[in-house]
Amino acid sequence: MARKPRIHYHGAINHIIARGNNRENIFCKNDDKAKYLDLLKKYKDKYDFLIYAYALMDNHLHLLIEVRDNPLSGIMQGIQLSYTQYFNKNYGRVGHVFQQRYKAVLCGKDDYLLTLIKYIHANPVKAGLSPSLDYKWSSHRDYIRAESDLVSTEFILNYFGNEPHKAVQNYLQFMQNTQEEDMPKSNPAILYQPVLPKIKKSSNGLNIGVSPEELLTLIAKKINISEEMVLKKSKLPKIARARRNFLYLAVSSGLLTRSRAAEFLGISQSAVTRTFNEIEYNEKFRVEMEECLKKIKDGKKVTK
């Protein structure tokens, strides 16, 4: 059976898994892993692609790459061939180092990426190569520094907040639960289904019991602005707070999906995720949301 061609388009993101031939080690010592990272940097500069995450194990590796004009097949062929030549020369051997066909899973630019980042960075811990996430041969350290010559951390960290230090702290909190049973899978029927940590519900729960339109009305009334103002982008603190409250309560209660919330407020889905995570991983904001929810419920009772 003929192999299916790789799907290529500008901006395509792929989760790549390359394993050693016959399950043999592709990295025998740290110098080999350093060499592979050098090759990643070399071909990144040559082919202009972005690296969002990596983890170099012993007998396999994970990469999360966004391509531009150059297809993934050419990028990987150059990297793998160069490393094979290095490895065989260095260890006096011939033949394949990698399995002939690396695995590449096409990913969307949505919350599923966060699941992949967690899986890739937690992989060395799960495999017993490191007692903690502080593994020298993964991109976790790049995210802690929030900058890197090799890894493009800004796009992912933007999911966790606009301010770099706060985004890193939120990322670290997101990574605390590293118990990943299996590699995350995308459902073909619901492509790139987000898989994020379960929402921390308050003692009151997040069952609002209203429609999105009614929630919008209640929040606008609580903050003393018109409903139309809530739907408009603005830097005014009062309006920004109303939009933030509506977004979090609507999504966390299940009134709206993230994509529908994005349409409702006229913003991108990544902006919805970023705002949601800023609240979800900030105790002060979550308390504010619980207070807001209580007032909304009380207000709803009064108007009945």
The number of distinct structural domains making up the chain is 2
- Domain boundary pick from 175, 199, 224: 175
d(CA 121, CA 126): 10
End-to-end CA gap in the chain: 66
34-148-71 Cα angle (round to 5):
75
d(CA 109, CA 155): 10
| Residues of the domain holding 230 | 212-303
Judge whether 7 lies within some domain: no
Judge whether 30 lies within some domain: yes
Here the CATH number for the domain that contains residue 17 is 3.30.70.1290
pLDDT at 189 over 60: no
Same-domain status, 29 and 76: yes
Q: Which range (15-29, 84-98, 130-144, 230-244) has the least confidence?
A: 230-244
Same-domain status, 160 and 19: yes
Question: What pLDDT was estimated at residue 77?
Answer: 93
pLDDT at 100 over 60: yes
Judge whether 145 lies within some domain: yes
Residues 6+ apart with CB under 8 A from 8: 67, 71, 72, 73
Count CB neighbours of 270 within 10 A.
Answer: 17
Same-domain status, 38 and 126: yes
Same-domain status, 161 and 85: yes
Judge whether 5 lies within some domain: no
Same-domain status, 216 and 171: no
**Contact between residue 121 and residue 56 where contact means Cβ atoms under 8 Å apart:** no
Judge whether 243 lies within some domain: yes
pLDDT above 90 covers a percentage of the chain that reads: 41
Over range 150-178, report the average pLDDT: 88
State both tokens at 188. 């073909």
Judge whether 188 lies within some domain: no
- Domain boundary pick from 175, 192, 226: 175
Same-domain status, 220 and 171: no
Question: What pLDDT was estimated at residue 261?
Answer: 87
d(CA 274, CA 162): 8
The reported pTM is 0.66
- Domain boundary pick from 130, 151, 175: 175
Same-domain status, 164 and 247: no
pLDDT at 201 over 80: no
Judge whether 187 lies within some domain: no
d(CA 111, CA 38): 29
d(CA 51, CA 67): 9
Question: What pLDDT was estimated at residue 259?
Answer: 82
Same-domain status, 152 and 217: no
Same-domain status, 39 and 167: yes
Judge whether 190 lies within some domain: no
pLDDT 10s digits, 52-81: 999 999 999 999 999 988 999 999 999 999
Task: Identify the band that residue 293 occupies on the pLDDT scale cut at 50, 70 and 90.
Answer: confident
In eight-state DSSP terms, residue 101 is: S
Over range 141-167, report the average pLDDT: 89
* Bridge partners, residue 138, by sequence: 55
Question: What pLDDT was estimated at residue 207?
Answer: 56
pLDDT at 138 over 90: yes
Same-domain status, 36 and 85: yes
Same-domain status, 68 and 150: yes
Here the CATH number for the domain that contains residue 244 is 1.10.1750.10
Average pLDDT of the residues of the chain: 82
Pure H helices in the chain: 30-47, 72-91, 112-126, 140-145, 154-157, 164-175, 212-223, 227-230, 237-252, 258-265, 269-280, 283-303
* Bridge partners, residue 14, by sequence: 65, 106
* Bridge partners, residue 43, by sequence: none
Better-predicted residue by pLDDT, 124 or 289: 124
pLDDT at 161 over 60: yes
Same-domain status, 39 and 161: yes
**Contact between residue 160 and residue 167 where contact means Cβ atoms under 8 Å apart:** yes
Over range 209-235, report the average pLDDT: 85
Better-predicted residue by pLDDT, 205 or 188: 205
